[in-house]
Structure formats: structure tokens, C-alpha cells
Structure 1
Amino acid sequence: MADFAKSNVPSFAVEVYQNEYLPDGGREVNAIVTVTSTGGGASGGLPSGGAGPDAAVAIMVDCSGSMDYPPTKMRGARDATAAAIDALRDGVRFAVIAGTHVAQEVYPGGGRLAVAGPRTRDAAKQSLRRLSAGGGTAIGTWLRLADRLLDSADVPDTAVRHGILLTDGRNEHESPEELRAALDSCAGRFTCDARGVGTDWEVKEVTGIASALLGSADIVADPAGLTADFTQLMETAMGKEIADVVLRLWTPLGAEIRYVNQVAPTVEDLTDRRTQAGPRAGDYPTGSWGDESRDYHVCVEVPDAGVGHEMLAARVTLVVERADGSTQNLSQGLVRAVWTDDMAASTSINPQVAHYTGQAELAQAIQEGLEARKSGDTDGATAKLGRAVQLAEDSGNADTARLLAKVVDVVDAATGTVRLKAKVEEADEMTLETRSTKTVRVKNVQHKHTHDVQK
């Protein structure tokens, strides 16, 4: 939710990339929707007007017993949290939580949030001395406490609410169902970045937390890297200027949304997160925004209208709720369907759609290949990871290609010919799995339709 009376609110633009031509009998329309937010202020720092948007941040630090092995993990976590506190903008409300099999308020305590300033930053950093390792891990309790604090009465409804969560181990002191219930309870209430330090944590747990709460996930294999990572995380969080933006998709009678995926900067399936928004319309959450751009793949099934006919397949509107409960449309784009007997027109694949379909397949191939490797299916792992190498090569995803080369020996990237490495560092395998959904953007864009409805 956001109040657009503020001068530092970003402008949004929606661009639609698609081949709108369908063959006779064709029913599936694919489009890449690029959403770009600009002009809201300096990302990671103060907007040009001085004071930034209302924001509240909860930092959750794993203090379970395993954080003492080696002791550099606990020291790294304290240093990283101190650096994140230093990166808080004046006026931002914040709290620090120690997470074990229970969640404890470290600062300021009493069910409150502190307001960032020189005095409270110093006090918060002093309180970090009390962080010590001992106990188990029940991440759901950490998230629920963060939610209660971020929902404090002194946090405006329009505030950007954000969490940063650090863990080094598996969630062994609550059931998967308890963690899922906590995530379901917190979803849509605040965003959360999750980090795993070392190599004893579960990738699917950490990426699942970030996915459910529309944040980022990553590995920090060496505790010495935590300070730089936490600083960057907090600077990014401070650059968020507007919360709870939704992608509203309207379809005409007879048309249905098959799926909606975020495809850049990471692959994230939003299909099942739809909430109804009136007749024939549904909202898909996108979380908080600063100055940035993201891409979404929208697939619509339309009724066959026959050659020579055209229709509006979907209307894409970026919507935010105002403080008074009303909504405001920020920008919109149109997805079209045109039936033709021109074979060349109807079989041409839009480069944006082709690229991101490949990036989604790349993420899936990596995950399935690593699963096969863990289960001892050498042939399956070789085939899947070979396909991943080929897709990374085709799309120019150099970062993923480098990570894959630490798990397989690449014989021929163009054909996806690889051999599994006999010995793989655990940190390298976990890094590949954690970052498997990161994508690169397509170059040389064509077939763009822009519909900017800013005031």
C-alpha cells in the first residue's frame, strides 16, 4: 500500500512483448510484460527530497548452537548485523531478533520498534554483544515475531515492511507444516530476503522462505562475506519506495489465464497466488519496488475466433492500494490475439518469449539435474545438467555457466555434452542450486507495445 501524495513515488511503465498472430484454431497467447519503475529516488540511499518513504525492517539472526561451529559464524553474523544497522536510513523503524527454537527480541525489546538515528543505531549495535549461540532452530517462530513487530501500531499502513533472515542450519525444531503455516501467515504482509551461511542449511528451506515472501535467497559460504552481503541487502531495502504493488490481469469472456511467472531477475511462479479482483480480473503480488525493472511471462488461453478476427486477450494493469483503501492504476499494457493464415507470421516466436522460456527451462534442468545427482542417477544428472549447460550457452547466462562448470566438466557447451565431476565442493553445488533461478535479460528486443497511463 502506498500514499501517492509523496513526491518521491516512482513512475511505472508497462511494456508488452509478444507475437500476437495465431494460426487458424490457435488458442494460446504468450507475452512478456516488462514493468519498470523509475524516478522515485536514489536506490539504496536517500531520495532526492531528503526523507525517504516510511519503512520498517526486522533483522532475524540465527543464534542456534551450530552458529558456534566455527566461531567465525557468530562473529560474522554480529558484524554483518551491525553493518546492516549502519545502513538504515534515519527515521526507519527497526528491530533485531535472535532466532533459536524460540524467537527473542534483542533490540529494542518490549514488542516495539526503534526509530533509526545515531543514538538508536549505537544502542542496537551494543545489544549485539548479547547474541550468543545455543539452542535449536524454528524459523517459523522468528517470522511470526517479525510479523508482529512490523505490524506495530506506530508503523503506518503505507510503510514498506521488510525482513532479513540469516540461518546456518536446518529447521529441525518445528515441522515443515509449521514453517509453511508461518509463511502463509506472513505472505503479503512483509517481504523477506533469506541467506544461508556455511553449508549445513537446506537450500529448499531458504529459497522457499524467500519465494513465499517475495524476497531474494543466496548462499554466503564464507562467514567473512556476510558483512558485505548484509550491507548490500539493507541498501537495496532502503531503496524500496512503494509496497504491495500487484499485477492485475483482466481477461474477456471465454479467455483464461493459464499461468503468470516472474522471469527476471529470477524465475518465480505466481500463478497460484492469484486473488480475485472483481469480475474476470485477478491480482498477482509483486512485492515492494524501488528503481528497477522486472519481467513477467503471461500465458492466456483464448477462444478461437477464426482467421481475420482479432481480440484483446488480456489487459495488464499495475495497481496499488492507497492509504484510504482506494486503488490507483499506475500503468497498463494490452495483450492481443490476431488470427491469420499467414504461416510465417503465426509461427514466428517473439524473441523475449523464446528467451525466457529457455531461462525457465534452464532453472528446471539445474534443479532436476542436481536432484538426480544426489539420488545416484548418473545418466539422468548428466543429461539434465548437459541441457542446462547448453541453455546457459545459448542465452548468454555466463554466471550460471560458470557455476555449472564447477559441477560438470564441459566437453561441448553448444551440444550440452558434459561429464559429471567425480568430486564437487558442497558449497559449489549449493550455490548452483540456490542461484538456479537467476536469469539474464534478452537483448535486441522487438514487438514492443507500450501503454504508460501515468498522470
Structure 2
Amino acid sequence: MASLAKSNLPRFDVDIFQNEYLADGAREVNAIVTVTSTGGGTSGGRPLPGGSPQDDQGVESSAVVIMVDCSGSMDYPASKMRGAREATAVAIDAVRDGVAFAVVAGTHEAKDIYPGDGTLAVAGDATRQAAKEALRRLQANGGTAMGTWLAKADRLFLSRRDATIRHAILLTDGKNEHESAADLDKAIEQVTGHFTADCRGVGTDWQVEELRKISSALLGSVDIVAEPSGLAEDFRAMMENAMGKQVADVALRVWTPANAVVRFVKQVAPTVEDLTGRRAEAGPRAGDYPTGSWGDESRDYHVCVEVPAAAVGNEMLAARISLILPQPGGTAEVLSQGLVKAVWTDDLASSTRISPQVAHYTGQAELASSIQEGLEAHRAGDLDRATAKLGAAVRIAHATGNDGTFKLLQKVVDVVDPKEGTVRFRKNVSEADSMTLETRSTKTVRVKK
């Protein structure tokens, strides 16, 4: 473990959990990398090109954009539009003084209703009040094209190039019906890396996969708010979390020796997120994997490396894991560092011992995929496969102590034997319960101490 952060940044610590002993000829090395950020008081993100340095307090270097679905369906029932206005007002109240912010009304196009001039306002008593008064202009009328909302948010963020921590909230109640899937994919690709985004679906007429695609690319969260009455508290929590971020654009850099290959890098806590395809080359045998913005928090990552086979008695460094903060000019500040090792042994007890952390998170990833595959099979009418997959999910959730997911599963299946994963599908499962299970399937629990 090492922590190399400067005093004006949060302290980052890296802990490596693994069984470093491999059998003769074995090649796969697995490790859980726990990253913990504590004690930051200022922002240390990277300004956009042409930007100015952030202020000493890190306040004016943050920016948020709230995107609210104003399509016609938001009036059915009217409580959705009313709940959206109330929730947006609550979120605005949670914006810290000095933070730049804007509100976007999203339909088949995107309009910034506050401040309304293509820029971001600076939060203070007067601007927060004016923004809440502008919410009266949120009227349900039109279609849904989320790609245009993302592009509008991107342009608004660009109006404040000194904003190093950029976060968006996106709320919708429906499917992205007024632009093609290719157009949405293009919009997501164009804004990826520019800001993070939390996505929320209200009601049950939206698509989990669609919002997960956005939140995953933009390193945010996705969740369902089944009833409009729950929006305000959810928006408050999201905004308070965004206000707690202290440093942006942190990356996990994985260096491997010659002839070694990174098989995958996944975030495994607090949610499962596969980062393997997000690798950016960072010099000889090194690659960077984005982690987004950090406040005081801890996350776990599963790194799997394939190394050249070696004989008993050999030892090697399988990977060097660094937390890095990109700097202007292409350099990087190393915030913390840890080492993944490989030692070949003929001691069967040592080489067959599985790290409890690796075993736990392998199970949590399997839990998420079992839920998603089970619900997909159920929608396709394959009840046998659906029952088997959700039965496996029940067994894993029970064994690993993931009580939250276990309770969500119980709303979809009757659990006969949790230890064996014996289940029966419940009759008349509500769409809200099914979507809640799917949306929250990637949430994990950490290894018990």
C-alpha cells in the first residue's frame, strides 16, 4: 500500500488482496484492489482545454446540469411532472454556493430553461430562487430524444471551462423514441469523458438497458423511482453526493511486465462495472481505466492478469496498480500505488487457496449477470432458464449476505430453499418490482471483515 497524494488533494490509499501463490505452470493472477479516498478539501480535476486553474477552495470548479424529461407522457399521470418540478427544486437547494449550474427541459429537443442564455449560473440565494421560479416553465409537451439532452449539457459545461468536476442528473419516464439508437450512441460517445451522469427512470415505461448505457458510459448511477413522490428525496441524495466530489478524472493505471496481458479490469463495489473496454494506452505496457470523480469514499476493483508460465520457485511482479491524475501537457500525478505479485509453488495448500476477496466479488459479478439473464429469459418466455438463473441469484445473494438484493428477488420469486437456490416464479409480479430488481442488480456488498 502507498499513498502519494499532495496535501491539496484527497488522500488516496491502495490495498491489494490476492493469493499470490500459483501452481507450477499456472498463468492467471487475480487481485482485488481497494481504493480509498479521504480528507480532501479542494478540487484537483483537470480543466477542459483552454480552461483556467480552479480556485483555491475548489468551489467554483464544480458544475452541475439537471436534465428533466418534459415529453408529453410526463403528464400521465400529472403527478410525474409535478414530482419532477419539486425534485428539481430540492436538487437546486442542495447546490453549494459558487457551483455553476443549469436546468434543461428535455423533449425531442433540449432547452436550457435556466439561466437560459447558453451558459451556467453561479449558485447563490438569488440564482437558486430564480431557478426554482423558472421551473414553472417545465411543461409536458413533445417527444423524447436523450442524445440531444446530453449534447446540450455538454455545450453548457463547455461554457465554464474552469469547471473541473462536471456532473449531470438525467430524469426520464419513457423510451428514447424520437431519435435512432445510433444517434443516441453517437451522442453518448461524443460526451464520454466530459462529465459524469446519474440517470433516473420514473414509473415503469422506460428501458433499464437504455439508461444503463448512458450511466455506464458516463460513470454514474442508474436507478428506478417507481412513484413520483419518491423523486424529491432521491434528487436531494444525488445532488448532495455530487457536491461531495473533490477530485475528477482519476484513472486506474495498470502496468504489466513483458508478455503479460490484462484480461479484465472491473469495478466490483459499490456496483459492478466492466472497465476493460475503456482502456486508454498510457505508455509501454501500461493502460488507464477511468474511475470518474471522487469524494470521501472507497471502491473495489477486480484486476485479472495473464502472465507467462514459470517454474516452481520463480517470483515476479504481475502488475503495478497506480491511481493517477492527468495533468496539462500529458503528464500524470501518481496519487497512490500497489503491487500484484505471482509466486510459483508446489505446495498444493498454498496454490489452491482462493483469496476470500476475489471469491466474494466473483460471486457478486455472477449474481448481477444471473439476475439480468434470468429476467431477460422470463421476458422471452423461457421459464425454465429464468427460474434456473434467478435461483442461482438467490443462492449467491443468500451466501454472500447481499440482503438488499435478496429482498428484491423475493418480490419476483418465491424462495423455497435459499441455500440451494430453489425458487418458483410468483404470479402477478408487478412491473415496478421486476424493473427495480433489474436496475439494482449490479449493486454489491463488500467482503465482511
TM normalised by structure 2 equals: 0.94
Q: CA deviation at 1:305?
A: 1.6
Alignment of structure 1 residues 239-278 onto 2, 5 Å: 239-278=244-283
SS of the aligned residue for 2:300 comes to strand
Matched, 1:299 2:299: no
Q: Secondary structure at the residue paired with 2:239?
A: helix
**How many Å separate the matches in 2 of 1:198 and 1:237?**
24
Return the alpha-carbon distance in structure 2 between the equivalents of residues 365 and 423 of structure 1: 21
Alignment of 1:81-96 (within 5 A): 81-96=88-103
Structure 2 residue aligned with 1:101: 108
* Partner of residue 121, structure 2: 114
2:162 aligned with 1:129 = no
2:340 is the counterpart of 1:309: no
State the identity as a percent.
68
Partner of 1:367 in structure 2? Answer: 372
Bigger mean CA offset, 371-380 vs 428-437: 371-380
Q: Counterpart of 1:379 in 2: which secondary structure? A: helix
Tell me which moved more, 354-363 or 200-209. Answer: 200-209
Q: Using the alignment, how far apart are the partners of 1:51 and 1:210 within structure 2?
A: 25
**What runs of 5+ residues in structure 1 fail to find an aligned partner?**
44-48, 445-455
- How far the C-alpha of 1:41 sits from its partner, in A, is 4.2
2:162 aligns with one of 156, 161, 168? 156
Give the whole-Å Cα distance in 1 for the aligned partners of 2:194 and 2:179: 22
User: What SS does the corresponding residue of 1:199 show, helix, strand or coil?
Assistant: coil
| 8 Å CA contact retained: 1:13, 1:331 | yes
Deviation readout 1:130-149 (Å, 9 max, x if unpaired): 00001000000000110111
Deviations 1:412-445 (A, max 9, x none): 000000001121011000000000000000013x
Q: Kindly indicate whether the alpha-carbon contact (under 8 Å) linking 1:10 and 1:41 is maintained by their aligned counterparts in 2.
A: yes
Partner residue, 1:38: 38
Q: Deviation per CA, 1:373-399, whole angstroms, max 9, x where unpaired?
A: 111111111100000000000000000
Which whole-Å CA distance do the structure 1 matches of 2:60 and 2:125 have between them? 19
- Contact 1:56 / 1:155 at 8 angstroms: preserved in 2? no
Cα distance in 2 for residues equivalent to 1:57 and 1:302: 43
Task: String of CA shifts for 1:344-392, please: whole Å, max 9, x gaps.
Answer: 0000000000000000000000000001111111111110000000000
Q: Is the Cα–Cα contact under 8 Å of residues 95 and 108 in structure 1 kept in the other structure?
A: yes
Match of residue 447 from structure 1: none
Change in 2 beyond 3 A, CA 1:325/1:25: closer
Q: 1:177 aligns with which of 179, 182, 201?
A: 182
Q: Spell out, residue by residue over 1:126-169, the C-alpha distance to the aligned partner (whole angstroms, 9 max, x if none).
A: 000000001000000000110111111x3316x10000000000
1:21 is aligned to 2:7: no
Letter in 1 for 2:13: A
Cα deviation, residue 299, structure 1: 0.2
Deviations 1:21-55 (Å, cap 9, x if unpaired)? 00001000000000000001499xxxxx9764610
**Contiguous gaps of at least 5 residues in structure 2:** 44-55
TM-score w.r.t. length of structure 1 = 0.93
Contact 1:65 1:136 in 2 (8 A): yes
> CA distance change for structure 1 residues 231 and 6 in 2, over 3 Å: closer, same or farther?
farther
Distance in 2 between residues matched to 1:209 and 1:50, nearest whole Å? 31
The residue correspondences of 1:407-422 to structure 2 (distance < 5 A) are 407-422=412-427
Structure 1 moving runs of 4+ over 6 Å: none
